[in-house]
Amino acid sequence: MAKYFDVHPQTPQSRTIGTVVDRLRAGDLIAYPTDSCFALGCQLGNHDGLERIRSIRRLDDRHHFTLVCENFAQLGQFVQIDNDVFRAIKAATPGPYTFILPATREVPRRLLHAKKKTVGVRIPDHVVARTLVAELGEPLLSSTLLLPDEDEPMTQGWEIKERLDHALDAVLDSGDCGTEPTTVVDFSSGEAEIVRRGAGDTTRFE
């Protein structure tokens, strides 16, 4: 049964955030809010959590998992970025964008796209998500909480708890965070390719 945590959207209670981080370090899989919609998240090295995300969403090995980062310095440890791409991504972060880039050796192989050896990264413009990642001290392995055969992600923490009570360990809720997933931009070739149009202005990448 999933534990439910409710925090303030602008000033999340540090004790609650600390409790959720302790659970992540103990191997928990959580649902948490971002600036585009709820996401599933677990610690980077949590192999069981990764497989549980795959099971919940029915994902194959061509899915790009996302490393949700606190800031650009942290993001740069996990992906390879040249100067032009750096400037383009820097101008759009924090925000509702996921960027696909070649991964560094810091990223476990099982998280990579099977053929491209790439991974998604993003810095959300959401206080709770960034506070959570800051407290964890490393990126949060994540995937949009979009269930199979459904067109839109769930937006209410209580509904997530109700429907995924036995699939998750915890739900972190701070109120409505929208229904539109991130815009996904593939920079792995050095040029911007919009893979998915979602939240955020896409004109800067066209």
User: CATH number, domain at 103?
Assistant: 3.90.870.10
Please give the pLDDT value at position 173. 97
Evaluate whether 95 touches 200 at the Cβ level (below 8 Å): yes
Averaged pLDDT, 17-26:
98
Instruction: Please state, in angstroms and as integers, the Cα–Cα distance from residue 50 to each residue in 7, 60, 61, 70, 149, following that order.
Output: 25, 12, 11, 20, 20
Mean pLDDT taken over the chain = 93
Tokens 């959580």, located at residue: 30
Hey, what are 15's tokens?
């004790």
Higher pLDDT, 154 or 31: 31
pLDDT in tens, 87-131: 999 999 999 999 999 999 988 888 777 778 899 999 999 999 999
Averaged pLDDT, 70-95:
92
Task: For residue 97, give its domain range.
Answer: 3-205
Please give the pLDDT value at position 67. 97
Highest mean pLDDT among 23-27, 112-116, 141-145, 175-179: 23-27
Please give the pLDDT value at position 2. 96
Please give the pLDDT value at position 4. 97
Residue 62 banded pLDDT, cuts 50, 70, 90? confident
Q: How many domains does the chain have?
A: 1
Evaluate whether 75 touches 123 at the Cβ level (below 8 Å): yes
104-108, 133-137, 190-194: lowest mean pLDDT where?
A: 104-108
Averaged pLDDT, 53-65:
89
Q: What dihedral do alpha carbons 153, 155, 157, 161 form, nearest 10°?
A: -30
pTM of the model: 0.94
Hey, what are 83's tokens?
């100067």
Residue 151 banded pLDDT, cuts 50, 70, 90? confident
